[in-house]
Structure 1
Amino acid sequence: MRNIWKSVKRSAAVLAVALAGFSLMPGTALAQPDAPRGAQEAQAGLPVVGGTRAAQGEFPFMVRLSMGCGGALYTQTLVLTAAHCVGGTGANTSITATAGVVDLQSSSAIKVRSTYVYRAPGYNGTGKDWALIKLAQPINLPTLKIAETTAYNNGTFTIAGWGAAVEGGSQQRYLLKATVPFVDDATCKSAYSELVPNEEICAGYNQGGVDTCQGDSGGPMFRKDNAGQWIQVGIVSWGYGCARPGYPGVYTEVSTFASAIKSAAAQIGG
């Protein structure tokens, strides 16, 4: 496991896009033991640092998971999240997915329990950080398509989550959003020697200030495709602290695993 503040997998307290000035909620349950943006996120938790509140309905595919991670609707019965947020593959009814709201305390929130978890085969804490959670019933909201090629692994991305707004902060009540630029593999590798270039993609500002954080793990990093539709390029995974200068956020490169994700979805009946 990576050091909690050094290379924390951003679960429960991980997706923090470091947002100064937002009220924080009391921390919720942290991510499971293998949490990248928070390798010890299982003991930390971050939100989107440097972000602003998302509008109701702006990102209808966003999902909050009860273990303190984020996710996105891959289908109306499957949530795509990070492997470090869940245990092994198998039946699992312990996770609650909350969707349809930016305010987690809203009476309009849709809450659905899990029935099954599929964690990426071979996941051991480095790379391959993706998983699917099957829901007990469909959530009738728009889904987020995933990138199947590297064509969109560039430009500026949107990140969003309910994680901490500052490194070491508490989870958020309201969904926060921010934008971050692509960082090439060579530059990212100079910051993180353990980066897996073919399986991970980096984004962030060299000067820091905006990033995902604890509690954001598993959430999507996305952008518009050539048709102007949202497409998921990354999954919040890990990083050294949150929004630190010279240390961009590290995300699972979705296009690398697109065929595996599609196959897994078909296998578990999503």
Structure 2
Amino acid sequence: MRNHLKALQRCAAVGAVALAAVSLQPGTAQAQDPGPHPAPSVVGGTPAAQGEFPWMVRLSMGCGGALYTPQIVLTAAHCVDGSGPNTSITATTGVVDLDSSQAVKVNSTQVLQAPGYNGKGKDWALIKLAKPIDQPTLKIADTTAYNDGTFTIAGWGAAAEGGGQQRYLLKATVPFVDDQTCQGAYGDSLTPGEEICAGFLDTGGVDTCQGDSGGPMFRKDDSGAWIQVGIVSWGQGCARPGYPGVYTEVSTFAADIRAAAASLGG
């Protein structure tokens, strides 16, 4: 377990920011991290345009996600509580403004959490919706070919560490950080091969934050199409120098995700 530092997963309780240790489940109250906090600022984000990332999903437990199929959302394992029937999650899609009258809201029917998930690595899950969403989907990487370069991140999470959730979708770009460098920050807490890191190591200032958990990290593939390479998972605070964001390495689990989606029938 990540016990050498207070690693913060990036989910948020409804109506509040949940800064939490690795064992946090959505809605669980935890003491805030006592470490130094950066000055309040947008964590490198700018507003996304309507329709720019049409597969983005906001989940009612305080997480993000992406449409893997029209009826299945790919998110983080730590955003859900196990597998099985679940009608308690509402997915909001189709808008950058969560208060828009054009928002499409669909409830969940079933959740599948990554088999063997125990809080370290394997941080992916699927949520089946009650009906398909008429929006484009985001394909996932099934090789490591795109696990470098510059990535795009997006979400409705906090715009500064300890801040409130956002009404409008924000986006930013972050550079790849190699495993060796990332382990220099996180030591044994990092699971190479299952996690990928990104961020501005020297300066910080750009990062995902609480409420962005489960959302995609993505880039363009060789044909110019968006492809998902990561799932927002955890980090030390938000946008702190020396501590890049940590994301589930999607290519490692691509076959498992496909099989799981097929089992859900979506």
1:216 aligns with 2:203: no
Q: Normalising by the residue count of structure 2, what TM-score does the alignment of the two structures yield?
A: 0.90
1:49 CA drift (Å): 1.5
Aligned to 1:257: 253
Gaps of 5+ in 2: 33-40
Aligned to 2:36: none
Residue from 56, 66, 75 that aligns with 2:50: 56
- Aligned CA RMSD, in angstroms, stands at 2.4
1:101 to 1:170, Cα distance in 2 relative to 1, 3 A: same
Which string of whole-angstrom CA distances, capped at 9 and with x for unpartnered residues, describes residues 164-194 of structure 1? 0000111000000000000000000000011
For 1:164 and 1:58, how far apart are their aligned partners in 2? 20
Residue from 150, 153, 159 that aligns with 1:165: 159
Which string of whole-angstrom CA distances, capped at 9 and with x for unpartnered residues, describes residues 64-85 of structure 1? 0000000000000000000000
For 1:229 and 1:162, how far apart are their aligned partners in 2? 23
Aligned to 1:142, what secondary structure does the other structure show? Answer: coil
Contact 1:2-1:40 at 8 Å conserved across structures? no
1:108 aligns with 2:102: yes
1:6 CA drift (Å): 2.9
Q: What percentage of residue pairs aligned between the two structures are identical?
A: 74
Aligned to 1:266: 262
Aligned to 1:179, what secondary structure does the other structure show? Answer: strand
Which string of whole-angstrom CA distances, capped at 9 and with x for unpartnered residues, describes residues 184-208 of structure 1? 0000000001100010000000110
1:40 CA drift (Å): 7.9
Gaps of 5+ in 1: 14-26
For 1:132 and 1:40, how far apart are their aligned partners in 2? 16
1:196 aligns with 2:196: no
1:123 aligns with 2:117: yes
For 1:227 and 1:182, how far apart are their aligned partners in 2? 20
1:50 CA drift (Å): 1.3
Contact 1:147-1:233 at 8 Å conserved across structures? yes
1:28 CA drift (Å): 2.5
Q: Normalising by the residue count of structure 1, what TM-score does the alignment of the two structures yield?
A: 0.89
1:267 to 1:56, Cα distance in 2 relative to 1, 3 A: same
1:261 CA drift (Å): 0.1
1:218 CA drift (Å): 0.1
Q: Which amino acid aligns with 2:92?
A: T
1:245 aligns with 2:232: no
1:179 aligns with 2:173: yes
Aligned to 1:146: 140
Point out 4+ residue stretches in structure 1 off by more than 2 angstroms. 27-31, 33-36, 38-45
Which string of whole-angstrom CA distances, capped at 9 and with x for unpartnered residues, describes residues 202-232 of structure 1? 0000110000000000000000000000000
